[in-house]
């Protein structure tokens, strides 16, 4: 494997500066963010997962035994607490007007993880059939032309999980340690439970090529999942994740319900009819919030994956597994959700797919004609526009449909003080 060039190092550092500057300058958060931030604060300042009295108020919470808890998986919050603790000791704390602690913690557990994921993705490309001269452009298109950019600047679990999948993919391709490969995929599933599908996909792939090593893969994955399961049981007296228990969302002032309006029904609390799921699932991909609309270059990645599978090229079985796993997760959300992942810039649930789609679809670039490459560049340029517009506000509310990128730009241009953040 060739050494990293100075240009690649400079580009990576520049990308990190962009993420940090946007994190500090724009300070964009939502209930998804405050739920995690409140847990981080409570762990450090009060030594508990209960978020009663936290600086950050959030609607993404459950009520158990007289206390409120985030309904999000705890993995990212525990890592964030490790970052926040020394800051808190130094007097840097969360709260109105205290932007430094928020920016450092958010960048450390999300922006920096996004950078790490991109590094592992880039190194993974060395194992693919993609020509060396195209590795940097492909990695750049993933970094700058997808939702990884806007969501790399705000607290959320999706870029964090995407980075873990990229790490797991690289370790799988290196074919060295099945234990650490399973640990990476297991942590991704522990952080975002829907991603356990990919833990299963790569576990089966490991089983087919190295049956004995697969034992270490699954053992490591279970090692990553057990603490989360123990947390659910110790706090909630059940191994079922909090988000899948509607009864925990019943408390005074709760906005959630099992059968409420489009933005009030809990994901997983009910099941949609198949006709509705087909319409809604299509909208998740190409509707006003559509994931493929806001990631135009993803069409190229999907075409490339289909090409690899059809030609039975290198890693075609893994590509087929990723395609099938992605479909399973999309169908799951089509059946159990109604709210398009909330007030958010496109469908954030599918962000972790991106490194996997990009890797398995990348080799198709080798066979493109100059004309095809020009069209691909145009599509990537459009993707960069969507990504940059999303960076201005990954959590738009109210949502402006297909015009959301333009609305983000107009909204930011109208602000009397560019980048000023108003704390809730």
pLDDT digits (tens, 9 = 90+) for 355-407: 999 999 999 999 899 999 999 999 999 999 999 999 999 999 777 889 999 99
What local confidence, expressed as pLDDT, does residue 27 receive? 83
pLDDT (mean) for 323-332: 98
What local confidence, expressed as pLDDT, does residue 417 receive? 56
pLDDT (mean) for 125-148: 96
What local confidence, expressed as pLDDT, does residue 421 receive? 42
Best CA proximity match to 25, nearest among 154, 115, 133, 138:
154
Residues 6+ apart with CB under 8 A from 47: none
**b/e per residue, 334-365, with b = 16+ CB within 10 A?**
bbbbbbbbbbbbbbbbbbbbbbbbbbbbbbbb
Residue 132: how many other CB atoms lie within 10 Å:
9
The percent of residues above 70 in pLDDT, for the chain, comes to 94
pLDDT (mean) for 174-187: 96
Please write the tens of the pLDDT for every residue from 107-127: 999 999 999 999 999 999 999
Q: How confident is the model at residue 419 (pLDDT cuts 50, 70, 90)?
A: very low
Residue 183 reports pLDDT greater than 90? yes
Largest CA distance in the chain: 64
Please write the tens of the pLDDT for every residue from 248-262: 998 988 887 655 555
Higher pLDDT, 198 or 100: 198
Q: How confident is the model at residue 422 (pLDDT cuts 50, 70, 90)?
A: very low
The domains of the chain are located at 6-414
pLDDT (mean) for 165-177: 96
pLDDT (mean) for 298-319: 96
Please write the tens of the pLDDT for every residue from 194-235: 999 999 999 999 999 999 999 999 999 999 999 999 999 999
């Amino acid at each position: 494997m060739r050494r990293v060039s100075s240009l690649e190092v400079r580009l990576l550092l520049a990308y990190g500066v962009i993420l940090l500057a946007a994190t500090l300058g724009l300070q964009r958060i939502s209930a998804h963010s405050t739920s995690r931030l409140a847990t981080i604060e409570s762990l450090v300042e009060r030594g508990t997962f209960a978020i009663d009295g936290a600086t950050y108020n959030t609607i993404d919470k459950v009520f158990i035994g007289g206390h409120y808890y985030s309904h999000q998986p705890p993995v990212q919050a525990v890592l964030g607490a490790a970052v926040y603790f020394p800051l808190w000791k130094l007097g840097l704390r969360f709260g109105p007007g205290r932007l430094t602690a928020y920016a450092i913690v958010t960048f450390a557990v999300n922006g920096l993880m996004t950078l790490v994921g991109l590094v592992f993705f880039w190194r993974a490309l060395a194992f693919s059939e993609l020509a060396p001269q195209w590795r940097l452009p492909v990695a750049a298109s993933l970094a700058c032309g997808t939702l990884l950019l806007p969501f790399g600047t705000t607290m959320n679990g999706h870029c964090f999980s995407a980075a873990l999948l990229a790490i797991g993919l690289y370790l799988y391709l290196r074919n060295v340690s099945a234990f650490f490969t399973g640990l990476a995929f297991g942590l991704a599933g522990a952080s975002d439970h829907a991603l356990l599908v990919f833990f299963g996909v790569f576990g089966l792939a490991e089983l087919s090529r190295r049956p004995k090593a697969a034992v270490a893969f699954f053992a490591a994955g279970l090692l990553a999942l057990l603490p989360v399961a123990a947390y659910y049981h110790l706090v909630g007296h059940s191994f079922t994740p909090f988000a899948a228990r509607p009864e925990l969302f019943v408390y005074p002032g709760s906005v959630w319900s099992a059968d409420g309006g489009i933005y009030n029904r809990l994901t997983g609390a009910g099941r949609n009819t198949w006709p509705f799921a087909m319409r809604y699932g299509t909208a998740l991909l190409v509707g006003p919030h559509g994931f493929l609309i806001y990631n135009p270059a993803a069409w190229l990645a999907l075409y490339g994956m289909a090409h690899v599978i059809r030609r039975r090229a290198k890693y075609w079985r893994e590509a087929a597994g990723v395609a099938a796993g992605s479909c399973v997760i999309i169908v799951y959300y089509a059946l159990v959700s109604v709210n398009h992942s909330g007030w958010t810039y496109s469908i954030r649930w599918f962000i972790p797919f991106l490194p996997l789609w990009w890797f398995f679809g990348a080799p198709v670039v080798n066979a493109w004609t100059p004309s095809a490459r020009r069209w691909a560049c145009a599509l990537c340029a459009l993707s960069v526009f969507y990504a940059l517009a999303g960076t201005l506000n990954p959590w738009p509310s109210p949502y402006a449909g297909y015009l959301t990128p333009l609305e983000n730009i107009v909204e930011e241009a109208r602000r009397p003080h560019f980048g000023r953040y108003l704390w809730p």
